[in-house]
Structure formats: C-alpha cells, structure tokens
C-alpha cells in the first residue's frame, strides 16, 4: 500500500507539472499573438485544454502567470536555481581572461534570446500600456542589471578593464549590449546568423571595455 500511494503521489505531481507547463505554453502563444492586454485567462485555459478554474488555482491571476512565464523563458526551465548557481556562470568564472569570458557569455546570451525574445518583446510592448506588465518589465530590467553587475566584477578580476570607466559605467555597457532589442533587430529582423551576433557582442564589448589590442589582430 505504501508503494501504491507513493506511485499515485508521483503520478499526481507529474500530471500537475504537465498541466502547469501546458498553461505556460498557452500563455506564451497568446501573449505573443494577441498581446498581454488582449488575452484573458479564459482564452489561455481554452488554448491549454484545461478549465479556467485550473489556471486560477495554479497561478492565481494573469500578472503572476506572466511573471512566471518570463522566469521560465529566461531560465529555460522551472527549476528553482539561482542565477549564480547556473552552469554558464561557473563556466565564465573558470575562464582565465576577459575576452574568453565575454565569448562564453555571448553563447549563453544567444541561447537565452533565441528562447525568450518573443516573450520579452511582448512584455516590453505591454509595459507601455499596462501597469502589471510594466512592473514585471522593470523587475526584469533590475534583475538584468544585477546580473551584469556580477559579470562586471568577474571581468574586473582579470585586470583587463579600462581604468577610465567607472564600475557603474562598465555595468551600463554590459547591460546595454545584452538587451533583447539588439538580438531582435540584428538576428530576427536583419537575418544575422547567431554566431555572427556572438562575434559582434564580443567585439563590441571588448572594444568598449578592455585594455590592449584585440587578440584577433595581433598577428596581422
């Protein structure tokens, strides 16, 4: 009986996880297609194939649903792992020089933007007219800046950053370069290959922030 109850409990947890994912996927589709303001929880429930009461039970309201969708879109999963504990952060910290760190971050950035660009652009648009969306957008902006502050500290530890930039200015440059609108314009609108965007990111940030010559040109 204990084994059966454990099996039933695991089955219910798996089912709840699948239902939650279906609702998030439906919300993503409709927020991108119809906009945040033009999408109701009832429409999301219909798209997900569940009762609207189920959506309320899981998320409570549309603002919470959008917030959790943003978190999942950025992370790529719904695991409760803090940014500092993510694998790409450990990879960056293990690299010996600033340009290598930028290159590893650029790869992560492309992976993230490829996954989340549509959602984040929908949030940015909704933030212009909806208070809840604006609050979520501003929260994300603050989180991105905090992440870039961590990255700036790691780059500074290499001793390769230009001394004429303040710490805040370094964070400003990193924050601006990673903005989803850059990826949207260059890759989604102009058709750049993701690898070209990675190279652009590294070249642009290195030229702005690092001391010394570009290693790619030293043998020319």
For 149-160, how does the pLDDT look when each residue is reduced to its tens digit (9 = 90+)? 999 999 999 999
Q: Evaluate whether the domain defined by 1-60 bears CATH number 1.10.10.60.
A: yes
Res 218: pLDDT = 47
Res 68: pLDDT = 93
Residue-wise pLDDT tens digits, 97-125: 999 999 999 999 999 999 999 999 999 99
Alpha-carbon span 213 to 167, nearest angstrom: 21
The residue written with tokens 């899981």 in the block is 58
CATH topology of domain 67-212: Tetracycline Repressor; domain 2 (1.10.357)
Q: For 103, what's the count of Cα atoms within 13 Å in the CB-facing half-sphere?
A: 11
Residues of the chain with CATH 1.10.10.60: 1-60
Q: Which of 86-90, 149-153, 179-183 has the lowest mean pLDDT?
A: 86-90
Res 160: pLDDT = 97
With beta carbons less than 8 A apart as the criterion, state whether 133 and 27 touch.
no
Res 79: pLDDT = 59
Residues of the chain with CATH 1.10.357: 67-212
pLDDT: which is higher, 78 or 206: 206
Res 6: pLDDT = 60
Q: Could you give the angle at which helices 131-156 and 167-177 cross, rounded to 10 degrees?
A: 120
* SS3 per residue for 85-124: HCHHHHHHHHCCCHHHHHHHHHHHHHHHHHHHHHHHHHHH
- In this prediction, residues 129-148 reach a mean pLDDT of 94
- In this prediction, residues 167-191 reach a mean pLDDT of 97
């Amino acid at each position: 009986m204990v084994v059966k109850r454990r099996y039933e409990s695991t089955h219910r947890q798996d089912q709840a996880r699948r239902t939650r994912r279906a609702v998030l996927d439906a919300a993503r589709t409709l927020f991108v297609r119809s906009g945040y303001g033009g999408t109701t929880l009832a429409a999301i429930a219909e798209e997900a194939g569940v009762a609207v009461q189920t959506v309320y039970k899981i998320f409570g309201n549309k603002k919470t649903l959008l917030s959790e969708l943003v978190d999942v879109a950025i992370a790529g999963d719904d695991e409760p792992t803090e940014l500092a504990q993510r694998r790409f952060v450990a990879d960056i910290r293990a690299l010996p020089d600033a340009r290598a760190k930028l290159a590893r971050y650029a790869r992560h950035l492309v992976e993230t933007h490829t996954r989340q660009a549509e959602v984040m652009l929908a949030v940015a648009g909704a933030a212009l007219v909806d208070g809840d969306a604006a609050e979520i957008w501003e929260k994300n902006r603050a989180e991105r800046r905090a992440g870039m502050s961590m990255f700036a500290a790691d780059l500074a530890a290499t001793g390769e950053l230009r001394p004429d930039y303040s710490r805040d200015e370094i964070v400003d440059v990193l924050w601006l370069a990673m903005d989803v609108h850059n990826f949207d314009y260059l890759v989604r609108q102009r058709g750049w290959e993701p690898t070209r965007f990675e190279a652009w990111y590294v070249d642009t940030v290195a030229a702005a922030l690092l001391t010394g010559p570009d290693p790619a040109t030293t043998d020319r």
